[in-house]
Every structure is written in C-alpha cells, then in structure tokens.
Chains A and B, each alone.
Chain A
Amino acid sequence: MYHGHNIREGRWFTVVVILNHITEVQLLDRYTAKKPAIGTLYLTATHLIFVETSCNTRKETWIIHHHIATVEKLPLTGTGYPLNISCKNFHVVHFVIPSERYCQDVYHSLLRLSQPAKLEDLFAFLYNPKQDEDDRRNGWGFIDSAMDFKRMGLPNEFWELTDLNKNYELCSTYHSELGIPKTARKDTVLGSAKFRSRGRLPTLSYYHKESNGAICRCSQPLSGISARCLEDEEMLQAISRANPNSTFMYVVDTRPKLNAMANRAAGKGYENADNYSNIRFQFVGIENIHVMRNSLQKLLEVCAMKSPTMSDYLTGLENSGWLRHIKAVMDAGVFLAKAVADEKASVLVHCSDGWDRTAQVCSLASILLDNFYRTIKGLMVLIEKEWISMGHKFTQRCGHVDGDPKEVSPVFTQFLECVWNLMEQYPCGFEYNEKYLLEIHNHVYSCQFGNFIGNCQREREEMLKEKTFSVWPFLWENRQQYINPLYKCSLGREVLRPSTLPLNFKFWCGMYNHFDKGMQPKQSILDHLLTIIQKRVEGEKKMTDFQRVSRYRFV
C-alpha cells in the first residue's frame, strides 16, 4: 500500500494499490547536467509515481498511464538501464533503473497499461471521486450544448431545431438535436444527408444574431466527377435564404485543392459551383491529419534537442512546419469570422468527413465572433458543441486504446494552440488563462473523465454517461485558478480581428516545454496577480466580518 497525496487528484487518492515498486531509480534532468534525483518508482494500476528520496522535501512525480505515448528502453549505461517515457502532454522523463529485469517489467506493464485494448479498461471507469449518483448525473447536465442554440436566439424566423436525428438514424456521428433552416423540408434534409459523406449533412454551427450570418458545417458531397443531388442543392439554398442580409453564401472547403480533387476519383469531392446557385466556393488549404501528426513529431524532435544552438533550434522549428499549420487554421477561422461579421454572409464549411478541420475552423470562428466563448463556461460549451457532440473522434485521434496509429493526430491540440495565440494577441480579451487550456488538454488525454472518450455522441450515450464522471463540473469548481485577471468583459461582443502575419505565430513554450521549468519565465505575472487579488478578497472579507461584528457591539 502506498499512501500518497497528489494535489490535482488529491480528493480521492488516499490509498493507492501498488503493483510494483523499484528502489534506487534515477530520474535524469532533461536539460541541465544536474545530479540525477534518486528515488523509488511505484507502479500502480493507474499511475506511475516517482518519489524522490535523495532530497529532504518529499518530491513526487505522477504520470497517469494514459498520458504515456511512448516507452523506450535504451542500451545499458554505466549507471543502469535507461527507460525513456514521452507523454501526450509533452512531459518527457528519463529514468535509469538498476536492474534489467525490473526495467523489463516496468516497460511491459506500461505498454499494456497506457493503451488498453478496450475502452472499458480506461481510468474513467475506475475513477470515483466519492460523489453520489445524483451528483454524477447532474454533472453530466452541467454543460448542455443544445442550450447554446437558445442563447443564439433559436428557434427564430430563420432557424429551428429538428429531432430528425433523435435515434442517430440520419447521421450516426452527429448529435441528436440539429439546427437547420426553417424552410428546409424533411425530404430535403434526408436527401442532403444521403449525398454527404457518412450522412453528415449541413447543419448549424453558429448563428450570428447581429448580421443574421450563419456558420454551418457538413462533410464533403458525394459528387464524384459529375454527380449532383437536387435535395443537397435545395439544402444550401435554404441556408442561403435563411440570411436576408446576403445574396450569396460561401462554401469553404478547408482542404488543399489537390486533396479535394483526389477525392473526386473516389466518388467524393467538392461542390460544383455551377450546380449550386449563388455560392462562392473557396479552398483554404489546411493539411490532413497525417501531415499534422508528422509535423508535430518533428516539432517534438526539436524540443528534445539537448542544448541546441539558436540556429539549430530555429531551423528545426521552421522545418517542422508546425507554426505554418497553426497559421492555416487561424487564417481559415479569420476568413469565416470576417465573412459573417463584415460581409454579413453565411458560410458552409467542410473538409472530408467534417470532424477534424471543420471542427477546428468552426470553433475558432465562433471564438472570434462571440465573447461568450472567451469565457470559462463558454469554452466548455464550445468544446462540447463543436467537438464532442459533432463527432470529433477523440478515442482515435488521441489513441486512447490500442488501435491504428495512423488515426492519431493532434487536431484538438492545434485548436487549443490557436486559442492560445489569440490570448497572446489579446491579453485582456479572454476570461480564462493559459492554465485552463493546459488543464483541458491534460484531461483530453488523461481519460480520467468520460467526456473525451468515444468517437461520437451515440457511443457516449450508450455507456459513458452511466459509468463515468464529467470533467466540466470539476473544472468549474477550480475556476479560480483559470481566471485571467486582465480580462475586460467590456470588450463585449467585439469581433476579434487578429493579425495573422506569420511572425505572430510563436512556439508555445507553456505547452511543449511545460515540464521543463528551466525554460519558463522565472516569475509569473499571472500567479502574482492571482495571489494579490486573492489576498485582497480575503482582506475585504475580514474587514466586512469585523465591521459586522463591531456594528452589533456598538448598536
């Protein structure tokens, strides 16, 4: 038995079952030539824990198994058997283990535990923060993405919610409640769904009250070389008509043109502008999941360089292409926001299946257009709405369970990085701070909560909501840590118009070097402000308490 206390999971980790423990393990520092820390490595069912014994204060390093992306055994060195672990939250640790057998044991255990074969073996099904069943159920109701349509003013004279997908028969990977134009007839909707890849028909993502412009999303049409579908054409007409302020609508294909053309050979493709009246068709050229995965890999190789020279580092950063991809996503988001806010036009967005690039671009545009998504709760709603309920394949993209490594891709990470870039440009524009993004990112991969498990709403409905907890109430409870003290809500409904000059896209040290404290600024403005505000609030509370007491005394 190991009695540990961890700040983050502190609420329930009082007793952890130890599967294995190894003493005299070294933890090497990634950058400096400091003396390695010596301690004991504990393997539990859910975590790998290193407890340092070489220093007086008890220092612990906790790694949740699901965060582990790769485990690597290196050849024997003078001091033992090196075991390198890289995590999905970009934590990299190098252990040196004294015996080969132990090293082998840990290695195999971690391979097995980090990526189980079945979803049911993920941590979320074990995690139980001592809440009763009602709390757990209520927790799942904390964020309701359908409520967001109400906030946008739906239903109204142009848009309504339909339950055509209530049994997931129309589209198995969509949510059950979809926003569609009021004038779209049932057969139009059904026909359009048949003409779209995996039935992912055009549906409302965001409605901009001020301009009547709407952002809609779907998958690619099954147009092939020459096929057309009257219902799909009618569907786009209906979307266009739902905006009285514009005579045309944009159709944005977020793929590079070549990729879209290649899809035509497979019976898919893109809209032929001749068949659809009054559309302006546009490619924006965001690369696919495979390019993004490889780019991140290159970026991480740069991060892993030991004391690189300035030019090695910069060349590596440039050659990874990562920041160019982030810029491409941002450019597309800005294009959408400008179309809606400035041209008062509606936009229909798709990529291939409409669950990766489309999710990135629609959610980013929503943030640019609407201050609500720049609040702590608003971001939860946005992620729930555009990612979870619209079928971003978290299980596959995050590699939660043992599966095809080619399905893994940092699509969601890129979205968070775009938001971070906006926060850097608008230091007073967001209610939340960088820690919030990092914590969300941690939980996307930790599998501690049920939200990011499963590939679509239907899968989740079937098992997760019954057996796991939702992350949102947990984050909400800790919201004090995620506040940006510089936030000015007076920015109000102002549309953000960020500069997308390439030089504005910086390397995100706080994400990719988060665990390399030596690289972070040595003092944090954010922490300092949060502390003095906290003190002030406490001081005021004492003051009012004191005044209340003294009033009673003297009256």
Chain B
Amino acid sequence: MEFSEHIKTANVEDVVLRRPFYQPTKGTLCVTGHHLIFSNRGGDSARPFLLLLRNIDAIEKRPSVSSGTITLKCKDLCVLQLDIPGMEECLNIASSIESLSSLETVSEMYPFFYRPPFLSLQDQWGLSSTEQHYAQMKEIHDGWRVSQVNRDYSVSPSYPPAVIVPHSIDDETLVKAARFRQGGRFPVLCYYHRETGTVIMRSSQPLSGANRKRCREDELLLQAVIDGSELGYIIDTRSSQQAQQARMTGGGFESKSCYRGWKRLHRQLEKGKVLQESLIKLVEACGDQSHSIAMLMMTVWFLCSISCYHVISVVMDGHSVLVHGSEGTDTSLLVSSLAQLILDPDSRTLAGFLGLLEREWVQAGHPFQQRCAHSAYSHVRLRHEAPVFVLLLDCVWQLARQFPLAMGFSEPLLLRLAKEVYASDYGTFLCNSDQERCVTGVKERTHCLFQSLLRANERQHYSNPLYERTELAIWPSIQPPSLQLWKGLFLQWTDDALHLVEAQKVIQNLVSQCHRPLNEKVENTDG
C-alpha cells in the first residue's frame, strides 16, 4: 500500500501553527507518509518543524465555512493547533493524519525509513546479548548456564533465544516446565546478588488450573535455585483473590506443599486498563486549573508507584525471589528492573541502565506495540494499552530524586525514553517480542535507540553531572510525603518545566567548571 493513497492534500499554504513556548507562526504545512512538516516561509533560518505522525494520539477538528482548526494531542503530551484556510483542505489534512497516524503494519513505520548519516545499518543492533551478559558475570558460571532451548522461539514465543537457568537443569526439563507456565515463560534468572548469592528470577503464572495440576520439572527448577537450606519468596503481583480466580481460566499459583522452601506472597500491582485509565486521569488533572496537588496525587497513578516500592521491600529482604503476575510481561518486569536499580550500582550507569532496559524489557518480551499504541489523549477504545514502561520511568525518577548523585543518567534521558516508547525514529520499541523483531527485520532494517544514545555527543547530554558511584543499595523512602509529581514529564509543556531545564543547565556548567583543571581560568558562572 502506498502512503500517497492516504494523502489527499499534501501542501497547504498560510497555515498558522500554535505550539507551547512559541508565538503563533504562519507557514506551509506539508503531509508526508510519516511526518507533518511545517516550514516558516518568512525565510528565517529556523529549521522546519517536524512532527512524527505516530506521535499523534488524538485529533480534533473544527471546520468552519472558509477555514478550520485542527488540534493535535500528542503522545508526548504536547498539544498543538493548526489553523488551516479552506474547509476542504482542513478536512483532507485531518483525515490524512487520522489514517496515517494509526497505521499498524510494522514494516511501514518510520524506523524502516530513517537513515541518519551518523548511524550505519551494519552496526550491532542492541547493546548486548544474553550470552555476552552471561560471559561478564564470572561469579555465576558455577551455578548457572545459558540455555538455547528457545533458539527457534518454539518453547516460549515471547522469550529471547537464550536465557540463563540453573546449571543442574537440562533443556528437556525446561521444555516441560515451560509447558506448565503461561506463554512458556518458565523461571529465568534476572539478577544475581554477589554479596549474598541470592537471585531475582521472573516467570509467568503456573498453569495449575482448577484441578491444582502439578509439574515435577517446574518444581525441580525452583528447587535448584535454593539449595534446601534457604528460603525463597515467590512474589505474585496479583491479590490472592485474583490468583484464585485465575485458576478458573487455567492459570494459578504455586501451592505451598509442592514448592518446598518457597513462600508465596501476594502483593497486588495495578496493570492493564486500570493503569491506562489512571494515566489518562492524571494527565487530565494536570491540565485542570482546579486540582490541588493532593487531589492530583490521589489518582491511582501514585498508588501504583508507591506500591511498586512496597513490593520491592520484599525483594530487598536478602532472600532469593521469583516474581510473576499472570503473563509475566508487565509488572514482573517492573519489579525486577526496579529492584536491580536499587541493588546494583552497575545498572545505575548510563550504559548499565540502558542495558537493563534492553534485557528486562526489550529482550524479555514486554509487548511495547500493544501497550503503547495509544497514550493519555486518545478516544479510541482501549485494547491492550497500559503505560507500564512509563510507570517504570516515573518510579526511576522518584528514586533519582531521592538519590540525585547515585544515577549516572539524567532526567532528560527518562523524558527521551518516555517519548521514544510511543513514537520513535528507532526500531528499539517496535513489536511485542524478540521473535517478531526478527520476523519483521527490525534488527536489520532499523537503527537501535540505545546504541544511538551512547554516542559521544548524546552521552554527555544524558549523563548526570552530579554522578558519584556508590556501591550501596539505594533504598528510597516510601512515606507518602516523599512521593512527588514528575513535573518534568507531566508538566513538560509549561513554563515550569523551562525553569527546571534551566536549572539543569546551570548545574552542568557549575560542575564542569569545578572539575576543570586548576590552572585554567574560571569564567563567570552565568555562562
């Protein structure tokens, strides 16, 4: 299918663009297959304004006799307005935007066309593979191995080809254990804690069903993790009632008698529709003049982020942990990645954090395409949308606010990721699993965001100037007053955010001046 079929009017002159922080400007609007391009005819050197159509979440049109107004509400929460002369042009533009912004064929998306001069398709796609990650962790080589059992994605369609499992468990056992877990997501290693030798693992729910079926191999797998003497915790991110109900549809939970040495805890985390609706409510409230901060924080969103930390307090108890909810592709990832960030100094560097996201979200099969199809403004009926990844970023921001020196990356990185996950020039967040990425050729025909963020000139922008590595766990306060609204994200299109950005620049200058060699002259701090 050609994009041109969707484009009834490609160019309109004398369009007025209104957007945050800028005076309304008149210029030419152009619709292409993937972008809206607005250029200011005045001929000043300003580059044309480019908007990825994929970024548009909702479009509202108000045509009148001789002109019309289109309001574009974007997934990055920006709201733009176009005043278009000519009613027909207005309607044409609107309908083009509507159809082009909702195309769902992966191989037609912009990342397949994006070819910047500074990146090459020959570059490695992704930062590291499971094998490379394993090779770096010498301390686990005795007890753990890399299994290729999923090399053709037949054991678990949403897992990567290679996973880390206990040494003593052979592939045959894994295959059988996988049949007992939803989507074949058998327990795999996420994190090994050097000091205590305890681990964090994740999986999906066991398929014990109404008859309380058992699976010897699944039990063996978990027993191999703790050598009899220790106690492990299974954190089920559903309430016990939800877990009971899941049995009726073939799911279930690990019964106490079958898994010796494991204790199951239910710690409910919201997901799916509830989470998506809470984001919608929060964004709505942020634009509302009458909401106080307390009313705003009363939204489910904040309850979600605080409960993440409540869950993690279990993880921090010095025991091995298996986390799962139902599918094991959402809240389990949230818990395992936040816990690693708190425990592991290596995951708090810029590269380490991106590596963590790659392992725990991209490779682990978080269904980005489904979850991020729409954001907070869309009127489309919800299907699989859920801002789990944005919730992760919010939780990381809360952590970084309490430990402003401990993270190697900065707030602009989190904001960039929050934007890229919904609409991107890069292929990293396309598709729902590693398998899909291979089938559609994402790894060959698109560029990798994480690679791009680590290039020298980007790296500086996304590094935290105050970073001082600490080997300690960074355990945040979870008292209600410690939680705050992430203004940088939710109010990023207001003047407030400008002042915060300014402050970040000043910090950067200040630190670089203080760290400059002493014999160089110090310039005015206003720089």
Contact = CB atoms under 8 A, between A and B. Distances in A.
B270 to A, nearest CB: 13
Contacts of B485: 503
A310 B406 contact: no
Given A427-B500, A529-B507, A536-B514, A518 B479 contact: yes
Interface residues of B, number: 52
A518 B477 contact: yes
Interface stretch (B205-213, B383-391, B397-405): B397-405
Interface in B288-306: 289-298, 302-303, 306
Contacts of B510: 485-486, 529, 533
Main secondary structure, interface of A, reads helix
A318 B295 contact: yes
Contacts of A309: 480
Interface in A515-552: 518-525, 528-529, 532-533, 535-536, 539-540, 543
A313 B513 CA distance: 42
Nearest to A314: B294
A504 interface: yes
A503 B291 contact: yes
B298 A314 contact: yes
Interface string A294-337: 00000000000001111101110110000110000000000000
A383 interface: no
Contacts of B296: 503
B292 A324 contact: yes
Interface centre among B285, B289, B525 (most CB of A within 10 A): B525
Contacts of A318: 292, 294-295, 298
Contacts of A519: 477, 479, 481-482
Interface string B492-506: 001110011011001
Contact residues on A (Cβ < 8 Å of other chain), bracket: 35 or more
Nearest to A324: B292
Contacts of B285: 503
A317 to B, nearest CB: 4
A505 interface: yes
A486 B483 contact: no
A505 B496 contact: no
A160 B405 CA distance: 53
B518 interface: yes
A507 B293 contact: yes
Contacts of A313: 480-481
B511 interface: yes
A505 B514 CA distance: 34
A503 B476 contact: no
A189 to B, nearest CB: 43
A317 B294 contact: yes
Contacts of A521: 401-404
Given A310-B480, A518-B477, A543-B519, A499 B495 contact: yes
Contact of B289 (A428, A502, A506, A523): A502
A386 to B, nearest CB: 26
Interface in B467-490: 468, 474, 476-477, 479-485
A237 B210 CA distance: 87
Given A425-B496, A488-B526, A502-B290, A532 B295 contact: no
Contacts of B380: none
Contacts of B137: none
A555 interface: no
B80 interface: no
Interface of B: 285-286, 289-298, 302-303, 306, 401-406, 466, 468, 474, 476-477, 479-485, 494-496, 499-500, 502-503, 506-507, 510-511, 513-515, 518-519, 522, 525-526
25 contacts: A31-B479, A310-B483, A323-B294, A324-B292, A427-B503, A429-B499, A488-B506, A489-B526, A503-B296, A505-B292, A505-B293, A519-B479, A519-B482, A520-B477, A522-B474, A522-B476, A523-B402, A525-B466, A528-B466, A528-B468, A529-B466, A532-B511, A532-B514, A533-B514, A543-B519
- Give the top 7 A-B pairs by smallest Cβ distance, nearest first: A427-B503, A313-B480, A318-B294, A502-B292, A536-B514, A314-B294, A317-B294
Interface of A: 31, 307-311, 313-315, 317-318, 323-324, 425-429, 485-486, 488-490, 499, 501-507, 509, 513, 518-525, 528-529, 532-533, 535-536, 539-540, 543
